[in-house]
């Protein structure tokens, strides 16, 4: 509609879902769901506010704060807070929209939402970050609660920021409750939460490999290209190594660090070294020239891993940010022999890239690349956030093993649900792998639509 602002990221996310539904048999079998799509695409509530805080030079600074409470059909709004200068309403609406269906796929009682600020934590002192978080939560606390809206961390929001915000919420509301997830382990956090998104995407791909090869293959011996070097990328890399795969790339916003030659892998020690500099908000380029790294890796400034890795790629895990795989990069991955791609990031592939992946899957059988969208593949993070909410409500703490087992089961169910739904509503040709993007979109959407119908939100 002409009276609405241009929101490219949100419109991309909406069109990706809508086109999947249109190209399936869902609307033929259940035409009333078209109305549900119209309703679910409008947020239930959007909160926007100013955040005024004081820097270390006693200068007043102003940022914008947001919370998009998109859909509560399945439970309290649930989704992260992002602190990054790129944050705007379009990005948060896209993330919140995706979150609705991602949360639905976990099988847990969580609605979808997203929030954040255009505040940039990089280069800020701990005191500046604390003062910003206090001001941000002073307003946000009016709109959230354990049974209303439970934010988590996202880009720029680590355990430190969660702690500052939780402390301010507790002071103002005089209530200790599970209002934020990603808390410290000694005061309500869940074991496995930091690792959950990275671990979860690897667990999901395990099922892809097993299904596509009839159980004959696993991660063992696979060359895995990963983008990003934050929380998701780090733990995905560590889990790949644990399962016998070779990690051949990591990256950040400045460039890509790529293994030289066909043999070898990043080691856990090298990944931990990268993790340490990321805590200090430094760039990978600072490590690339050191003797320990320059002899084994090549650093490519301004590049993403997909078109600059020598040799074979078996699995690709985009784990940095949205739209990080273009159509040309999708073709390059196929040319490199990639058979599995799963998004650790949200909407990691452009629509052009998705079209390339899906066309290749349709046209090929055992040699096809198989694409898994972020709303399914990276659902592990919010799944364990949901498990943290459950532990907080019961005032209990589960062991690492119990949480990890539950995470594995959720990712398996997520995969199987998308697979079965694709076979029902987007039936592939004989010998062709089902579309996980179609199956995941339809499975998440129909679950939310049915709950909304029961609530009287559409008829």
397 annotated to a ligand binding site: no
453 annotated to a ligand binding site: no
Tell me how far apart the alpha carbons of residues 159 and 194 are, in angstroms, rounded to a whole number.
9
58 annotated to a ligand binding site: no
345 annotated to a ligand binding site: no
78 annotated to a ligand binding site: yes
153 annotated to a ligand binding site: yes
61 annotated to a ligand binding site: no
Q: Catalytic positions, please?
A: 114
Q: Which residues are annotated as a binding site for NAD(+)?
A: 197, 231
Q: Which residues are annotated as a binding site?
A: 78, 99, 102, 153, 197, 231, 385
Q: Which residues are annotated as a binding site for substrate?
A: 78, 99, 102, 153, 385
């Amino acid at each position: 509609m002409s009276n609405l602002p241009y929101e490219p990221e949100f419109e991309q996310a909406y069109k990706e879902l809508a086109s999947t539904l249109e190209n399936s048999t869902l609307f033929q079998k259940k035409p009333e769901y078209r109305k549900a799509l119209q309703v679910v695409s409008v947020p239930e509530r959007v909160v926007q506010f100013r955040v005024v805080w004081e820097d270390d030079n006693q200068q007043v600074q102003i940022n914008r704060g947001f919370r998009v409470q998109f859909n509560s059909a399945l439970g309290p709004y649930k989704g992260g807070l992002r602190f990054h200068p790129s944050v705007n309403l379009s990005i948060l609406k896209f993330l919140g929209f995706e979150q609705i269906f991602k949360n639905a796929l976990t099988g847990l009682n969580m609605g979808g939402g997203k929030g954040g600020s255009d505040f940039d934590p990089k280069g800020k002192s701990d005191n500046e970050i604390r003062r910003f978080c206090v001001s941000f939560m002073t307003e946000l606390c009016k709109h959230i609660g354990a049974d209303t809206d439970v934010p988590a961390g996202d880009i720029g929001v680590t355990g430190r920021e969660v702690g500052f915000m939780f402390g301010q919420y507790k002071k103002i509301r005089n209530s200790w409750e599970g209002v934020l997830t990603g808390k410290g382990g000694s005061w309500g956090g869940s074991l496995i939460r930091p690792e959950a998104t990275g671990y979860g995407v690897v667990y999901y791909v395990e099922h892809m490999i097993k299904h596509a090869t009839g159980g004959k293959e696993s991660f063992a011996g696979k060359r895995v290209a990963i983008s990003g070097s934050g929380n998701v990328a780090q733990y995905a890399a560590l889990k790949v190594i644990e399962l016998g795969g070779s990690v051949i790339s990591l990256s950040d916003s400045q460039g890509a660090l790529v293994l030289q030659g066909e043999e070898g892998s990043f080691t856990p020690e090298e990944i931990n070294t990268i993790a340490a500099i990321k805590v200090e908000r430094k760039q990978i380029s600072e490590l690339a020239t050191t003797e320990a790294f320059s002899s084994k890796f090549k650093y490519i400034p301004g590049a993403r891993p997909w078109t600059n890795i020598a040799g074979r790629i078996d699995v690709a895990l985009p784990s940095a940010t949205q739209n990080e795989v273009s159509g040309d990069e999708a073709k390059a991955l196929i040319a490199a022999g990639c058979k599995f791609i799963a998004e650790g990031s949200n909407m990691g592939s452009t629509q052009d890239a998705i079209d390339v992946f899906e066309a290749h899957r349709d046209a090929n059988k055992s040699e096809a690349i198989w694409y898994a969208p972020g709303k399914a593949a990276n659902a592990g993070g919010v799944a364990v956030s949901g498990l943290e909410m459950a532990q907080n409500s019961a005032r209990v703490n589960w062991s690492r093993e119990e949480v990890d087992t539950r995470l594995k089961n959720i990712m398996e169910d997520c995969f199987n649900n998308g697979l079965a739904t694709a076979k029902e509503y987007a039936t592939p040709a004989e010998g062709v792998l089902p579309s996980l993007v179609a199956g995941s979109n339809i499975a998440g959407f129909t679950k939310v639509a049915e709950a909304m119908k029961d609530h009287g939100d559409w008829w």
